[in-house]
């Protein structure tokens, strides 16, 4: 239901997101909750309203064991921040640095080239 209500909205700006972002968030959130049970050792799937820092921390550990790139983990944390916002729980998903990731590892930079 949360996906139906909020997934088309940008999490920080007053605009909609692309179909690609919409689909990636949908796929990620479904996989996240499934993996909490199957891969992170939680006995039951938590109700999204009961999601807390321990769930996020457990999944970051799974992603690190899977050798996911820090930028990918940052994207996943961003998706979870959006979910937290939809639930009215702003702030429970800390920054990637709080999980031991260095900003240089996940911060994206644009490289502008000049055309002649």
**For 71-81, what is the mean pLDDT?**
91
Q: Are the beta carbons of 104 and 110 closer than 8 angstroms? A: no
Q: Are the beta carbons of 53 and 88 closer than 8 angstroms? A: no
List own/partner pairs for 10-19 with CB under 8 A and 24 or more apart. 11/78, 11/81, 11/82, 11/85
Answer yes or no: pTM beyond 0.75. Answer: yes
What does the buried/exposed string (b/e) look like for 62-97 if buried means 16 or more CB atoms within 10 Å of the residue's CB?
bbeeeeeebeebbbbbbbbbbbbbbeeeeeebeebe
According to DSSP, residue 68 is labeled -
**For 94-108, what is the mean pLDDT?**
75
pLDDT per position as a tens digit, 7-50: 566 565 455 667 787 788 889 988 999 999 999 999 887 788 88
What tokens does 54 get?
């321990």
Say what the pLDDT of residue 59 is: 96
Confidence of residue 99 (pLDDT cuts 50, 70, 90): confident
Task: Please indicate whether residue 108 or residue 56 has the higher confidence score (pLDDT).
Answer: 56
Say what the pLDDT of residue 63 is: 95
Question: What gap in Å lies between CA 6 and CA 29, rounded to an integer?
Answer: 13
């Amino acid at each position: 239901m949360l996906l139906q209500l909020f997934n088309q909205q940008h999490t920080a700006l007053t605009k909609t997101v692309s179909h690609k972002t919409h689909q990636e968030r949908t796929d990620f959130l479904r996989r996240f909750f499934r993996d909490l049970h199957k891969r992170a050792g939680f006995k039951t799937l938590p109700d999204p309203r009961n999601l807390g820092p321990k769930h996020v921390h457990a999944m970051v550990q799974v992603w690190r064991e899977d050798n996911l790139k820090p930028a990918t983990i940052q994207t996943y944390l961003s998706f979870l921040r959006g979910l937290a916002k939809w639930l009215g729980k702003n702030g429970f998903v800390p920054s990637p640095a709080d999980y031991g990731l260095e900003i240089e590892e996940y911060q994206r930079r644009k490289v502008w080239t000049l055309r002649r």
